[in-house]
């Protein structure tokens, strides 16, 4: 069961507003977006897209499809991470990749001030909106089950910090294994969330606000 907040306003109301809003206008030139669906590149990458279910921090679905995309080079790098981890008995389990901008706005508007550091400000956009951030963990290849980490996914407490010193030694070791494998392929963890990694080239890509169902099959 995912960590839950009490949304500041009904999510349905926030969704209507967010869908009407416009992403920030950005100066400069960007690469043409080319989102790749992760399971199409590597079917051994598992999905647990909680935002497509009620099992997420808002307690209600924000996606209508359980899919995960990243910009091409980030997706290819993730396939390498998954491959390297296989030799150590683990696979990647993805909670989220590309996230339409309006969903970032729903998260921000729903989240109380004392937990806002765990969600990106839509005024700047999230690296997820650029197809260059991924929320993920490890699964055990023998059992197929997601492993225990020092906190649950989207747990908005100190336990989520990438350097949180608590939890068991095994949990910390798995968190370190994930981080090392990701860093070797150009991803960087954010200090407040052990599960969130930004791809090094995120600045090259624009903010996108397209729903999964409009990305095609």
Ligand X SMILES: C[C@@H](N)C(=O)N[C@H](C)C(=O)O
Asked whether residue 128 is marked as a ligand-binding residue, the answer is yes
Nearer to ligand X, 89 or 191 (CB): 191
Q: Is 196 in the site for Zn ion (CB under 5 A)?
A: yes
Asked whether residue 95 is marked as a ligand-binding residue, the answer is no
Longest dimension (CA), the chain: 48
CB of 101 to ligand X, least distance (A): 11
Tokens of 192: 């407040």
Q: Is 109 in the site for ligand X (CB under 6 A)?
A: no
Q: Is 52 in the site for ligand X (CB under 6 A)?
A: no
Residue entry with tokens 């080079």: 73
CB of 131 to Zn ion, least distance (A): 12
Asked whether residue 135 is marked as a ligand-binding residue, the answer is yes
Termini Cα distance of the chain: 29
Closest CA relative to residue 207, chosen from 35, 46, 20, 12: 35
Would you name the residues annotated as active-site residues? 193
Q: d(Cα 161, Cα 185) in Å, to the nearest integer? A: 21
The residue count for the chain: 217
The span of 64-72, 112-120, 159-167, 206-214 binding ligand X (CB under 6 A) equals 112-120
Q: d(Cα 108, Cα 70) in Å, to the nearest integer? A: 22
Near ligand X by CB under 6 A: residue from 119, 182, 189, 207: 119
Q: Is 48 in the site for ligand X (CB under 6 A)?
A: no
């Amino acid at each position: 069961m995912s960590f839950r907040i009490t949304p500041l306003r009904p999510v349905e109301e926030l969704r209507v507003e967010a869908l009407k809003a416009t992403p920030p206008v950005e100066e400069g030139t960007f690469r043409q977006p080319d989102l790749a669906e992760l399971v199409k590149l590597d079917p051994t990458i598992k999905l647990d897209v909680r935002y497509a279910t009620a099992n997420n921090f808002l307690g209600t679905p924000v996606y209508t499809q359980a899919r995960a995309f990243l910009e091409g080079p980030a997706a290819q790098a993730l396939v390498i991470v998954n491959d390297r981890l296989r030799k150590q008995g683990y696979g990647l389990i993805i909670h989220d990749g590309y996230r339409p901008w309006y969903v970032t706005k729903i998260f921000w508007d729903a989240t109380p001030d004392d937990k806002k550091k765990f969600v990106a400000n839509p005024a700047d956009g999230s690296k997820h909106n650029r197809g260059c951030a991924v929320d993920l963990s490890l699964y055990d290849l023998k059992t197929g089950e997601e492993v225990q980490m020092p906190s649950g996914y989207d747990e908005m407490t100190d336990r989520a910090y990438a350097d949180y010193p608590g939890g068991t030694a095994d949990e910390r070791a798995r968190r370190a294994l994930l981080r090392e494998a990701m860093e070797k392929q150009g991803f960087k963890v954010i200090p407040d969330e052990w599960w969130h990694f930004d791809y090094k080239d995120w600045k090259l890509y624009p903010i996108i606000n397209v729903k999964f169902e409009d990305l095609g099959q």
